[in-house]
Structure 1
């Protein structure tokens, strides 16, 4: 196997999963990105981090435990050989542990960067294999799929292997993210879910998730009804009481608000709102960031 001289650059978008009723299936790529640059060296490992995870507060690792590095090692193993040394630069803009897919972005960036550093890597590890490997590393396909493909994705697992289809979002849909100054644990939030739900709630979720795909791809007037959830948000509310209260307040104003991923970020899927909307501003807690990132339609991009 031959490694390219590099550098190779990978740009990956933030994502929002679930989107209300589409639990573990629907995901949307957002116009907020991390960039990772890598090159093969003669020996050792160098990791440089800028932005999220580099300043005040919890900092990301700079060794083999770094999630990008771990994902690269897994991809190199799938490709058949690991290089003698690596130098990696991470420029992070996606907030960590906020429900915006920062872990999925790191995993996708690592897998794609490893593939990009191998001559003929696209043939050795095709796109379907990238999605499958990223899902193995992440555990759920609803974040890695939109990160890789962009736009709106519907993901599922068949015989243990992740698959996804992509749909083009309606150009009028403009997501707004309300990002709190605190983090949340995905493991804790998932641990609050029941092992079963009433049949009526499952049927309700199936109908609303189907409606949500239609609303996001051509019928945005249905977004408020389409984002109503009975599968996971109420069960997770104790882990993020402030976020749950904000979703309830915004929906009380007629805004299609949901918990982004496992939270605690709140996402508003609207075709007619803006960060200056008085209904939004009057309910947003002090210290929360209001961001209108737009939708990323390109997905992950690799450049040599």
Structure 2
């Protein structure tokens, strides 16, 4: 038996469409074991307790690549803390956990890099998969069939505030509203802002984020799908947030604040209550480790405090 903990992630980060992602200290936890026969699901909603479950499908892709046939599988969702279809990488946690669980069952025959590549194949783009595996802020690109990534050393001094709506937004719908072509000026706009954002995170010049987080490729097309988006976004900025961006495909809005400006969180919560906007607010910090796992019988403290080495 093995447990796997995978962090929530936020992709795009404003101008970094399908390229930038970051991991947070909010987790889904799964448990895997090979049983004598059949497939058992525990802890999942009934609609996901079948072979269409993305965790199971990810495991089978991994098994098939290695020509491994499991006797049977038990897949348990131990903790679900990341809401689905909110732009916080819930599906990526399922993919990453499934791959790590399958690899353990096969005897850890694949490296973390191998699993990462399979994960990108399944997801189709690396912006959530990369920080889910490796933690921190990650820049990733696909060059032909290769996935190239690099972690950014983020300077201390900031926290993130996820303002999570009480409704889902499907990724497929959020993709459909995007244009098939963009103006040259919009491409230049995003390249310059993404470059500025990475430099600001690297050297701690967080006052630049008010310029760096701006986007011309996806947010202006997706924000109309989110009721009260402009109202909440503007309140975050007027309350003192350094900047805001649409988390992944949405609908979550992610605000960046200085870590000594806790009153901003209270102001946002009060505003939502006063306006009868039933959104959840979570203050998050960066998870710099990524997915962790531990075997049955191992001290659970090791699971939460140490990087699992058997997959490195």
Which of residues 278, 288, 292 is equivalent to 1:297? 288
Following superposition, the deviation at residue 76 of structure 1 comes to 1.0
Equivalent in the alignment of 1:4: none
Which of residues 63, 70, 78 is equivalent to 1:83? 70
Which of residues 215, 219, 223 is equivalent to 1:233? 219
In 1: Cα distance, 2:264 partner to 2:196 partner: 28
The question of whether the paired residues in 2 share the 8 Å contact of 1:176 and 1:275 is answered with: no
In 2: Cα distance, 1:215 partner to 1:247 partner: 21
The question of whether the paired residues in 2 share the 8 Å contact of 1:275 and 1:291 is answered with: no
For the aligned residues, what is the CA RMSD? 1.7
Q: What is the number of residues matched between the two proteins?
A: 288
**1:124-182: per-residue Cα shift (whole Å, max 9, x none)?**
32222211110111111100000000000001111133231112322222011011111
What is the TM-score of this pair, normalised by structure 2? 0.87
Residue 18 in 1 paired to residue 12 in 2? yes
Following superposition, the deviation at residue 228 of structure 1 comes to 1.1
Change (3 A) 1:185 1:245: farther
Equivalent in the alignment of 2:111: 126
Change (3 A) 1:81 1:17: same
Equivalent in the alignment of 2:300: none
For structure 1, the 5+ residue unaligned runs are: 1-6
In 2: Cα distance, 1:60 partner to 1:173 partner: 39
Equivalent in the alignment of 1:3: none
Following superposition, the deviation at residue 70 of structure 1 comes to 0.6
The question of whether the paired residues in 1 share the 8 Å contact of 2:239 and 2:264 is answered with: no
Which of residues 233, 243, 254 is equivalent to 1:247? 233
Following superposition, the deviation at residue 275 of structure 1 comes to 6.2
**1:204-247: per-residue Cα shift (whole Å, max 9, x none)?**
11111111112223222222211111111001122213234422
Q: How does 1:61-210 map to 2 (within 5 A)?
A: 61-91=48-78, 92-119=80-107, 121=108, 124-210=109-195
Which of residues 191, 206, 209 is equivalent to 1:223? 209
The question of whether the paired residues in 1 share the 8 Å contact of 2:141 and 2:149 is answered with: yes
Equivalent in the alignment of 1:257: 244
In 1: Cα distance, 2:5 partner to 2:253 partner: 24
Change (3 A) 1:60 1:203: same
* SS of aligned partner of 1:241: coil
Residue range with higher mean Cα deviation, 192-201 or 211-220: 211-220
What is the TM-score of this pair, normalised by structure 1? 0.89
Change (3 A) 1:26 1:74: same
The question of whether the paired residues in 2 share the 8 Å contact of 1:41 and 1:84 is answered with: yes
In 1: Cα distance, 2:239 partner to 2:177 partner: 28
In 1: Cα distance, 2:212 partner to 2:267 partner: 20
